[in-house]
């Protein structure tokens, strides 16, 4: 399966926004955004002019796509699904992305980043309602129980990620049992509940794909 394998800090610099792609490093002084590094490329100052309407729409799409660790073709498929659902397309898109198994694993703090969560899913460390699911894009339904396989519960990366729960907690649409290393996806979040994406304008993505 195709995936981005380049330096992820470069992506944050390109968007001039913390995308939290490297877990704990993003919260440390080593983060490229904390060091106030500029745009990547040979001539970053040559690309800081006023953006066109298309440019703003494109950048919002790139931010969301990179936050959720997706490539273009898969992201577009999610948009098409959101478009067919009743309600506001932008809100539907965020709800579908939040329901991806790799994202739910990340939200339950079994992984320090969505990329790490994707790896855990692909390697068969995650169960949904007691059954192994190794598809990162699998849509978790309301009420589903997501857990770490018993043989995987001593993995250092999982234990390290769970140790952060006391500092940052978990989002309100999941319930977590740290000792049992399992959680329940209690509800599909409303757009207003996804506060870490408060500055993302998904409507611009809708406008971009509607052209």
The residues facing 127 across adjacent strands are: 132, 147
CB distance 58 to 208 below 8 Å: yes
pLDDT tens readout for residues 119-171:
999 999 999 999 999 999 999 999 999 999 999 999 999 999 999 887 778 89
CATH of 1-49, one of 2.70.150.10, 1.10.1050.10, 3.30.70.20, 3.30.1360.120: 1.10.1050.10
E strand or H helix that includes residue 169: none
Q: Is the pLDDT of residue 21 over 90?
A: no
pLDDT class for 51, splitting at 50, 70, 90?
confident
Provide the whole-model pTM: 0.82
Number of helices (H), then strands (E), belonging to the chain: the values are 9, 5
Q: Is the pLDDT of residue 104 over 90?
A: yes
State the pLDDT at residue 95: 97
The residues facing 177 across adjacent strands are: 182
User: 91, 123, 117: which is closest to 104 by C-alpha?
Assistant: 117
State the pLDDT at residue 22: 57
Mean pLDDT confidence for 2-9:
60
The residues facing 100 across adjacent strands are: 139
Phi, psi of 98 (to 5 degrees): -70, -25
Compute, in degrees rounded to 10, the torsion defined by CA atoms 69, 171, 94, 182.
Answer: 60
Asked which of 64-68, 93-97, 141-145, 162-166 is least confident by mean pLDDT, the reply is: 162-166
| Residue 99, Cβ density class (10 Å: 0-12 exposed, 13-18 middle, ≥19 buried) | buried
Report the CATH number of the 101-185 domain: 3.10.290.10
pLDDT class for 107, splitting at 50, 70, 90?
very high
Q: Do domains 1-49 and 101-185 have the same CATH topology?
A: no
Q: When comparing pLDDT for 33 and 68, which is higher?
A: 68
Q: Is the pLDDT of residue 47 over 60?
A: no
Q: Over the chain, what is the mean pLDDT?
A: 85
Residue labelled with tokens 């998904």: 202
Asked which of 62-76, 99-113, 160-174, 184-198 is least confident by mean pLDDT, the reply is: 160-174
Q: How far apart, in Å, do the first and last CA atoms of the chain sit?
A: 29
Token code pair at residue 193: 């509940």
| d(C-alpha 140, C-alpha 112), whole Å | 19
State the pLDDT at residue 45: 58
pLDDT tens readout for residues 8-17:
655 655 665 6
pLDDT class for 211, splitting at 50, 70, 90?
confident
- Would you list the domain boundaries of the chain? 1-49, 101-185
């Amino acid at each position: 399966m195709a995936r981005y394998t380049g330096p992820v800090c470069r992506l944050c610099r390109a968007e001039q926004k913390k995308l939290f792609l490297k877990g704990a490093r993003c919260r440390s002084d080593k983060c490229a955004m904390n060091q106030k590094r500029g745009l990547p490329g040979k001539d970053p100052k040559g690309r800081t002019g006023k953006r066109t309407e298309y440019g703003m729409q494109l950048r919002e799409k790139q931010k969301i796509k990179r936050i959720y660790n997706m490539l273009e073709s898969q992201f577009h498929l999610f948009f098409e699904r959101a478009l067919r659902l009743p309600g506001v397309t932008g809100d539907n898109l965020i709800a579908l992305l939040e329901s991806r198994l790799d994202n739910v694993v990340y939200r339950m703090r079994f992984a320090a980043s969505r990329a790490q969560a994707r790896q855990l899913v692909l390697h068969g460390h995650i169960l949904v309602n007691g059954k192994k699911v190794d598809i990162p894009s699998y849509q978790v339904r309301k009420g589903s129980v997501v857990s770490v396989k018993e043989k995987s519960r001593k993995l250092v990366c999982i234990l390290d990620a769970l140790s952060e729960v006391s500092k940052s907690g978990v989002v309100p649409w999941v319930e977590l049992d740290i000792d049992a290393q399992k959680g329940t996806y209690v509800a599909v979040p409303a757009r207003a509940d996804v506060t870490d994406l408060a500055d993302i304008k998904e409507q611009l993505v809708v406008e971009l794909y509607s052209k």
